[in-house]
Structure 1
Amino acid sequence: MHSNLLVFIWRRKLSFLLLASGLILFALWTWAILIDTTATASSTTPNENSAASGVHEREPVYQHAYIIQKLIAQANRILRAERLKDNVETESAKLSSAAHPHPLGIVRFLKPTSTAAENTLTSARRKKAPALPFGESYLFEQERLKILEQQHRQRNANMEDDGADDERMLTSAERQTQYENELQRMGVPVVANIGPDGPRAPPERLVHLDLKGAPPKLSFLKQMLPMLRSLGATGLLIEYEDMFPFTGALQQLAAGNAYKADELRDFLETAAMHGLSIMPLVQTFGHLEYALKLSEFEQLREIPESPQSICPSQPQSLAFLEHMLTQVIEFHLHPGNATQATPELPLKFTHLHIGCDEVQRMGECSRCRQRMRSEIFQTHVISLAHFVRQRFPHIKVIIWDDMLRDMTLSELQNSQIGSYVEPMVWVYASDIYHFIQPQLWDTYAKVFPGAWAASAFKGAFGESLLVPPLQRHLENNIRWLAVIGKEGGRFSKGLRGLALTGWQRYDHFAVLCELLPVGIPSLMTSLSTVAKGYFSTNPKDNELLRVLQCVFQPDSRRSGHAWLELHPNAHHSQLFLVCNYPGHLVYKYALRLQDKLMEVGVYLQQTRENSAWLSDYNIRHNFSSPLRVRELTARTPMLIEELLTMAREAQQLLWEVYDDHTVAEFVEQHIYPTITKLRQQLEQGQSLLQRRSWPQRPLPPTTELQQDLGMGAGKAHQGEQ
């Protein structure tokens, strides 16, 4: 009996295996449905967490689907092997049965067509798919799970879109909080109410080109024009100073390396072709050193010893300034060459900036002292603006605002200066309201129908800086967006626009500050922010990567790093080291030079100031340890050679942007002073090493010390030489 039962089970092993496998798969299938239903329900329930938490909720579903697929694949492999073995045994049994029929007559080795396991699974799947043979239903199940896996993958791939849908469900305050958290992660300054839902961008975004004394080649500036336009610039604020090709009686104002008229015309036409307006800036009160330093115009100074400002009480002063303004205006009204066969391309030239900031010497000559400073300033400005209005009626006049800040409302209103000029309010610090308080905004709004604002992208945080602090400039521009959004409504014609200034020198006599190519990352980051009205944290919406031709591919989800990472007072971000914009080699060189100069500075401080064997005292008395001196000066020859190599490299790189004069000035200003210090230290060390005998202590004080303080030397020591 038992043997017959075992034979029966053995003969039906395939059916039992299929039944057991079916029950297991039915349990796994039910488990997967329950988990998928739970995940779907949780995803449709409003969630207080961020979109990132949804990613973690979907991961278990994906893992379960993957496990089920693997189990089914393994089961299919077993079934295929058993079916192949069963077919072989069936054929053998048929031959055996024909010769020797089984006594029970009930065991038949035939391919099953319907089993209890199939009926159970079929009833469970009736709502999902039509009935199939058992073996085929297993294969269909595997394909269905592949589809399920693909759906989960697609859901994970659309994670950003789902996050966007979730974001649309958030309130404005919640979106702003998420935005500010992302800014903090990137190191971008956070300013309240500035974000995607914040104020609109200023209508005009001007990029200031300060050309005085170190003019970039116009070929380089032409390469910048499409970049500026792509990132949202609407015009250029060009401050020529002595780089303008003055002619006639004013020819002496032009520097020896000033732009040629034909080259400048070509540049202006190229700017017009890119849709950029032009606003010339001509200083007409202070900052006239480039003109008043010359003997031909010396008599026009406010005081003889300073060429900083012109005397407005002299009749020749107004005639001189009118002549200068006329040449600049007419050049921009008719930039094309009259001899050309092709018609000229008209410039968008509607505003003229006449400067008038930081008039440090005013009201000091004998005639000016008889009048109030506010009256002197306003009369001079109105006279020049009236001249421009009479000769060129369509051109509006702009001045810097700093000389107006201490004037009262009645003084400004009585002079009617608001009918002649518009102020450009400039602040380069982060706390704009510290300099322009709300009551001053109210005063300006009552006097002037419209106004302008000015920020900075370089040339504001150090007279001789090598690299601009990008984060500080970005914060200045973002805070200006908040101020424009808040104060623009005070003016009947609003705040017309924002000028991003980039000073090349603090004045005509100052040395170079940050070079223009070195300031391009700061300029482009601030410009793209100002043009959009906020800093876009999404690299797909921020044009910075495309315009600067950065090869960096942002993937913050995988790497955990933001595509732009700034730090407090940072001078750069690693992003700009993998970009290919015009001038990028100069920028990278400036960073390397800055690091090298800091390294050498620390070395000199340690060997000269912190050392006890190579100090000024040791050198004056020719008294030190030869062993220590050799140790302290061992690196000096190598550092000298490294700086000489960097000086030669500067000649090659800067030549693409500047002429030989500017390149020489840069090397002389930044590199050769350090080389001179190193050479001096080496010479002094060699002098100390020449001595072979030394006097006994105490050493006598120097002659200067005896003369200035009366300190006696006591008994001289004959051994000291």
Structure 2
Amino acid sequence: MHSNLFLVAWRRRLPILLIATFLILLSLWTWAIFHSTTFYSPPSANNRISSSVVKVGSSGNVGYFAKIQKLISQANKVIQRNRKQESTEGFFNFPSFDNDPGSILSTVQPAASTNVKFLKQFTKTQKRKRNYNQLPLESYLFEEERLKILQSQQQQQQQGTRQLEEDRAMEYENILSSSERQSQYEHELHKMGVPVIAGIGPGGPQPPAERLVHLDMKGAPPKLSFLKRLLPIIKTLGATGLLIEYEDMFPYTGSIQALAAKNAYEENELKDFLESAMMHGLTIMPLIQTFGHLEFALKLQGFEHLREVLDSPQSICPSRKVTMSFLEQLLTQIIEFHLKVAQEFSNKNNFAGAAGSTGGGGGGGRDGSNGSYKSFTHIHIGCDEVARMGECDDCRHYTRNKLFLSHVTSVANFIRSKWNQLNVVIWDDMLREMTLSELVESNIGHYVEPMVWVYALDIYHYISPQLWDTYAKIFHTAWAASAFKGAFGESLMLPPVPQHLENNLRWMAVIAKEGKRFSKGFRGLALTGWQRYDHFAVLCELLPASIPSLLTSLSTVSKGYFEPNPKENDILKVLECPFQLNNRHSSTVWLDLTPSIHHCQLFFTCAYPGGNVYKYVHSLFEKLTEINNYLVHVRDQSAWMSDYNVRHNFTSTLRVRDLTAHNDRFIYELTAMGRKAYVIMRDIFDEHTISELVEQKIYPLVLKLKTHSDEGQYLLQRNVWPQRPLPYTRDFGDFIEDIKKVN
């Protein structure tokens, strides 16, 4: 019977197998449903991962990824601990994310006919025997996601570290007393070589309301395209306006057309530049000399009759009627031009400018009743350093002070009566020696605002407290004037940045103290940048070579103090640097102005308009210094090629060859430097300015070297020499005879 049953079962084996398979699958499915919400917990309390059952819907689940990320984070922490100690038998051992091409997810095995995945435990032996080539596809499913999570965690950790450092620094500063904070601030300044001025620092006096940058066109007039590139930079650093001294670069017309230089600016390009300045929110204050420093006009034929004395074109005679007529033409052309540009700009940009009384357009400034931007509120009429005054026949009947005050009030009255929206500014130096009664009697305080200029470090040496008191009794307000170049040497090639910075810092202290004397306080400060000391002087520092000094001083006066933290100093906002700077507590000094440093590395490394000229002038200065020292050695200090040796043609030919051996090399190097000047500066200056620089700085040394070479050739031609004592030369013989006659 059993055999019969077996035979029947064998014959019907297919239906039976199908029924058995169905029952098995049904059992597994029922078991899976029953356990689908159960969490598997490993038996060990240490070295384990809290296993999770991750539900995955047929269409995916957002919570799935969040749980996976949490699982990965937990697994990484456990793995880090497992690496530090040897695994113990009986505990779970998990594959490392760093060494295993799979992840902890590679141990997840799919259950039949379910959407549930479980974590499978591995022993140390099993892990060693795994064949990674046979890992399921799910092992690599979230590898990319894991890397992104790790990178994100690393970035957050770095940011958190930086933020923690900054928070600690801020917390440390908060617990410091004001004296300790000031002491720390001064320590940082000392480290950077920045001058320390008592009372100037964070939390100190406020900066002046107006900060003007002086553009001196009479020296080496830059192309206006270059000046336009500077506008956003100085605006970012806190400038509020420009003080423009045109001299002979303005496009004069009519009877005074001859005053314009041959390379004067064209009317259209000047208008475009002024509109660009206004577009950046900068006010314009033209500076027109009306008394002294009128060499650009009085030097010319046809204008010499306006001089105070015929042999000096420095100052104009205030007593002649033709003088006022000439000045009125000069002022009218410049003022009307600026008013017209301001009005057109105001109309174009919907600004409400103040109407001129006779022919004027929009005014300037930011103090309009309607709060609108105004670009033209002040006119500067110069009147400094009037050297020749009261010497002609007409002027001798008056004192110098009376002549000066009378002339200034006449010019200011002309301006105020024709353009009553304009305020008149003058330099103050001619007022310093006047008495209070003279100033009161002239009523000059009703006509002008003084711009007090001192470029030295000791401001009170030139403007005493008593003089400040006198000015406060005469004027309701005043301006200050510092310098960023053109103040410490008539023929300097590079401005001394620390000295200019100290001058500006000391002005911050003076403005804070003396501004209280004036009923309306200080109106502002102008950073002057002279390119010649006067019209006949040679060039001093070029503007592009002085940009580092301008950036340093302007950013300082705009804050009221020097900011040592690179992240808070506006200088770095306008530079393109190939590196990032840390906060102020970094051991690296980002701006080194110590006297031992020949040049500041920051301005050598970073890019900015004029940066190539700054580097070029540095290299030129070093080369000129080297050659000058060489010539002093071979000509003045040498005992074989001195003027005496040359006059008497008496020397050692062997020494001559040694003392002239480097001449040709130096001439070649200077020639190359001159050629480079045209390449570096052609986008900034015209050919005339570049040629003037080369002629003043390079060409004289080329001539000296050639003369030295010629003298060497002259000395080498001789091969026999006379006995001592050597005979006198003819010129020296005459000189000796004159001496003998006196004795």
TM-score by length of 1: 0.77
Residues 53-97 of structure 1 deviation map (CA, whole Å, 9 limit, x = unaligned): xxxxxxxxxxxxxxxx99994785323468699xxxxxxxxxxxx
1:269 Cα offset (Å): 0.6
Which residue of 2 is the match for residue 296 of structure 1?
302
CA distance 1:339–1:316, shift in 2 (3 Å): same
CA distance 1:661–1:622, shift in 2 (3 Å): same
CA distance 1:74–1:243, shift in 2 (3 Å): same
Which residue of 2 is the match for residue 679 of structure 1?
706
Which residue of 2 is the match for residue 188 of structure 1?
194
**Equivalent position to 1:357, from 377, 384, 390:** 384
Matched, 1:544 2:571: yes
**Equivalent position to 2:317, from 306, 311, 314:** 311
2:567, 2:583 within 8 Å by CA — same for their partners in 1?
Answer: no
Residues 509-545 of structure 1 deviation map (CA, whole Å, 9 limit, x = unaligned): 1111111100111001100000011111011111111
1:430 counterpart letter in structure 2: L
CA distance 1:552–1:613, shift in 2 (3 Å): farther
Which residue of 1 is the match for residue 268 of structure 2?
262
Report SS of the residue matched to 2:626.
Answer: helix
Matched, 1:78 2:105: no
Which residue of 2 is the match for residue 520 of structure 1?
547
Residues 131-166 of structure 1 deviation map (CA, whole Å, 9 limit, x = unaligned): xxxxxxxxxxxxxxxx9xx99995675122212112
Report SS of the residue matched to 2:426.
Answer: strand
Instruction: Provide the rounded CA distance (Å) in 1 between the counterparts of 2:288 and 2:157.
Output: 65
* Superposition pairs of residues 117-156 of structure 1, within 5 angstroms: 154=160
* Superposition pairs of residues 6-405 of structure 1, within 5 angstroms: 73=81, 77-80=85-88, 154=160, 158-335=164-341, 348-405=375-432
1:357 counterpart letter in structure 2: D
**Equivalent position to 1:659, from 666, 686, 694:** 686
1:213, 1:243 within 8 Å by CA — same for their partners in 2?
Answer: no
1:583 counterpart letter in structure 2: G
1:364 counterpart letter in structure 2: E
Residues 321-369 of structure 1 deviation map (CA, whole Å, 9 limit, x = unaligned): 1111011100000027989996898561000000000000011111111
1:457, 1:523 within 8 Å by CA — same for their partners in 2?
Answer: yes
1:383 counterpart letter in structure 2: S
2:455, 2:503 within 8 Å by CA — same for their partners in 1?
Answer: yes
Which residue of 1 is the match for residue 110 of structure 2?
none
1:415 Cα offset (Å): 1.1
Instruction: Provide the rounded CA distance (Å) in 2 between the counterparts of 1:675 and 1:707.
Output: 33
1:469, 1:572 within 8 Å by CA — same for their partners in 2?
Answer: no
Residues 24-65 of structure 1 deviation map (CA, whole Å, 9 limit, x = unaligned): xxxxxxxxxxxxxxxxxxxxxxxxxxxxxxxxxxxxxxxxxx
Residues 561-594 of structure 1 deviation map (CA, whole Å, 9 limit, x = unaligned): 2100012396641110012111111110000000
1:710 Cα offset (Å): 2.1
Instruction: Provide the rounded CA distance (Å) in 2 between the counterparts of 1:408 and 1:75.
Output: 89
* Superposition pairs of residues 453-464 of structure 1, within 5 angstroms: 453-464=480-491
Which residue of 1 is the match for residue 53 of structure 2?
none
Instruction: Provide the rounded CA distance (Å) in 2 between the counterparts of 1:472 and 1:203.
Output: 23
Which residue of 1 is the match for residue 494 of structure 2?
467
* Superposition pairs of residues 634-653 of structure 1, within 5 angstroms: 634-653=661-680
What percent identity do the matched residue pairs reach? Answer: 59
Residues 215-268 of structure 1 deviation map (CA, whole Å, 9 limit, x = unaligned): 110100111101010100000000000001110001011010000111101110
1:558 Cα offset (Å): 9.4
1:213 Cα offset (Å): 4.7
Matched, 1:594 2:594: no
1:550, 1:576 within 8 Å by CA — same for their partners in 2?
Answer: no
Instruction: Provide the rounded CA distance (Å) in 2 between the counterparts of 1:439 and 1:570.
Output: 39
Instruction: Provide the rounded CA distance (Å) in 2 between the counterparts of 1:421 and 1:595.
Output: 46
**Which stretch of structure 1 is more off in the superposition, 428-437 or 692-701?**
692-701
Instruction: Provide the rounded CA distance (Å) in 2 between the counterparts of 1:511 and 1:470.
Output: 21
Which residue of 2 is the match for residue 697 of structure 1?
724
Instruction: Provide the rounded CA distance (Å) in 2 between the counterparts of 1:194 and 1:339.
Output: 39
2:309, 2:388 within 8 Å by CA — same for their partners in 1?
Answer: yes
**Equivalent position to 1:606, from 633, 637, 643:** 633
Report SS of the residue matched to 1:206.
Answer: strand
What value does the CA root-mean-square deviation take over the aligned residues? 2.8
1:172 counterpart letter in structure 2: S
Moved beyond 6 Å, runs of 4+ = 69-72, 150-153, 336-345, 556-559
**Equivalent position to 1:506, from 505, 525, 533:** 533
**Equivalent position to 2:450, from 416, 423, 446:** 423
1:222, 1:270 within 8 Å by CA — same for their partners in 2?
Answer: yes
1:432, 1:480 within 8 Å by CA — same for their partners in 2?
Answer: yes
Which residue of 2 is the match for residue 630 of structure 1?
657
Instruction: Provide the rounded CA distance (Å) in 2 between the counterparts of 1:227 and 1:341.
Output: 26
Instruction: Provide the rounded CA distance (Å) in 1 between the counterparts of 2:244 and 2:175.
Output: 46
1:213, 1:242 within 8 Å by CA — same for their partners in 2?
Answer: no
Which residue of 2 is the match for residue 119 of structure 1?
none
Report SS of the residue matched to 2:86.
Answer: helix
Instruction: Provide the rounded CA distance (Å) in 2 between the counterparts of 1:611 and 1:541.
Output: 54
Instruction: Provide the rounded CA distance (Å) in 1 between the counterparts of 2:162 and 2:588.
Output: 20
CA distance 1:382–1:79, shift in 2 (3 Å): same
1:262, 1:337 within 8 Å by CA — same for their partners in 2?
Answer: no
Report SS of the residue matched to 1:208.
Answer: strand
1:552, 1:575 within 8 Å by CA — same for their partners in 2?
Answer: no
1:380 counterpart letter in structure 2: H
1:607, 1:632 within 8 Å by CA — same for their partners in 2?
Answer: yes
Gaps of 5+ in 1: 1-17, 23-68, 86-146, 714-721
Report SS of the residue matched to 1:220.
Answer: helix
Instruction: Provide the rounded CA distance (Å) in 2 between the counterparts of 1:191 and 1:223.
Output: 33
CA distance 1:556–1:541, shift in 2 (3 Å): closer
Residues 617-636 of structure 1 deviation map (CA, whole Å, 9 limit, x = unaligned): 11111111111111111111
Instruction: Provide the rounded CA distance (Å) in 2 between the counterparts of 1:404 and 1:228.
Output: 32
TM-score by length of 2: 0.75
2:342, 2:376 within 8 Å by CA — same for their partners in 1?
Answer: no
Instruction: Provide the rounded CA distance (Å) in 2 between the counterparts of 1:344 and 1:506.
Output: 41
Instruction: Provide the rounded CA distance (Å) in 2 between the counterparts of 1:318 and 1:569.
Output: 53
Report SS of the residue matched to 1:325.
Answer: helix
Gaps of 5+ in 2: 1-43, 48-76, 94-152, 352-361, 365-374
Report SS of the residue matched to 2:424.
Answer: strand
Instruction: Provide the rounded CA distance (Å) in 2 between the counterparts of 1:367 and 1:308.
Output: 18
Report SS of the residue matched to 1:78.
Answer: coil
CA distance 1:71–1:337, shift in 2 (3 Å): closer
1:690 Cα offset (Å): 1.4
Which residue of 1 is the match for residue 69 of structure 2?
none
1:184, 1:190 within 8 Å by CA — same for their partners in 2?
Answer: yes
1:472, 1:569 within 8 Å by CA — same for their partners in 2?
Answer: no
2:545 counterpart letter in structure 1: V
1:457, 1:501 within 8 Å by CA — same for their partners in 2?
Answer: yes
Instruction: Provide the rounded CA distance (Å) in 1 between the counterparts of 2:92 and 2:241.
Output: 80
2:713 counterpart letter in structure 1: Q
1:469, 1:569 within 8 Å by CA — same for their partners in 2?
Answer: no
